[in-house]
Amino acid sequence: MLSFAGGVKAELCQERLRKSCCTRAELYGVLLFCNLFTPTHIRITTQCVPFAQRLPRLLRKAFSLSFDVQPEDVNAGGKLKFELTDPTKIAVIMDAYGYARENSLSHHINLAVLEEDCCRAAFLRGAFLAGGSVTDPEKRYHLELVTNHLYVQRELMALLQELGFAPKGITRSANFVTYLKRSEAIADLLTTIGAPLAAMEIMNAKVEKHLRNGVNRWSNCDVANVDKAVDAAQSQIEAIRRIQETVGLDALPDKLRETALFRLENPELSLSQLAQLAQVSKSCMNHRLRKLMEMARPEEEAT
- Please report, as residue ranges, which positions from 90 to 119 form the binding site for Zn ion (by CB under 5 A): 116, 118-119
Q: At closest approach, how far in Å is the CB of 122 from Zn ion?
A: 6
- Would you say 19 or 241 has its CB closer to Zn ion? 19
Residue 303, classed as helix, strand or coil, is coil
Stretch that binds Zn ion, among 11-19, 33-41, 221-229, 262-270 (CB under 5 A): 11-19
CB count within 10 Å of CB 118 equals: 14
Residue 21 vs 271, nearer CB to Zn ion:
21
Q: For residues 132-191, which are near Zn ion according to CB under 5 A?
A: none
Closest CA to 78 of 41, 106, 51, 46: 46
> What is the arrangement of strands in the sheet containing 42-46, beginning at the earlier edge strand?
36-37, 42-46, 80-84
Residue of 59, 12, 34 whose CA lies nearest to 192: 12
143 φ/ψ angles, rounded to the nearest 5 degrees:
-125, 135
Q: How far is the CB of 156 from Zn ion (least distance, A)?
A: 18
Least separation, in Å, of the C-beta of 195 and Zn ion?
18
Is residue 227 close enough to count as binding Zn ion by CB under 5 A? no
Number of residues that bind Zn ion (CB under 5 A): 6
Residue 41 DSSP class: -
* Cβ count within 10 A of residue 81: 15
User: Which residue(s) pair with 132 in the sheet?
Assistant: 145
Closer residue to Zn ion in complex, CB, 57/168 = 57
Strand ranges in 59-174 using DSSP code E only, listed in sequence order: 80-84, 132-134, 143-147, 168-172
> For Zn ion, which is the closer residue by CB, 13 or 293?
13
Q: Provide the minimum distance between the beta carbon of 115 and Zn ion in the complex, in angstroms, as a whole number.
A: 8
Of positions 10, 17, 21, 284, contacts Zn ion by CB under 5 A: 21
Phi-psi region of 100 (alpha: psi -120 to 50; beta: other; left: phi over 0): beta
Taking contact as CB under 5 A, which single stretch among the options 19-27, 127-135, 156-164, 174-182 is the one that binds Zn ion?
19-27
Provide the minimum distance between the beta carbon of 140 and Zn ion in the complex, in angstroms, as a whole number.
33
Whose Cβ is closer to Zn ion: residue 4's or residue 123's? 123
Distance of closest approach, residue 265 Cβ to Zn ion, in angstroms: 32
Footprint on this chain of Zn ion (rule: CB under 5 A): 19, 21-22, 116, 118-119
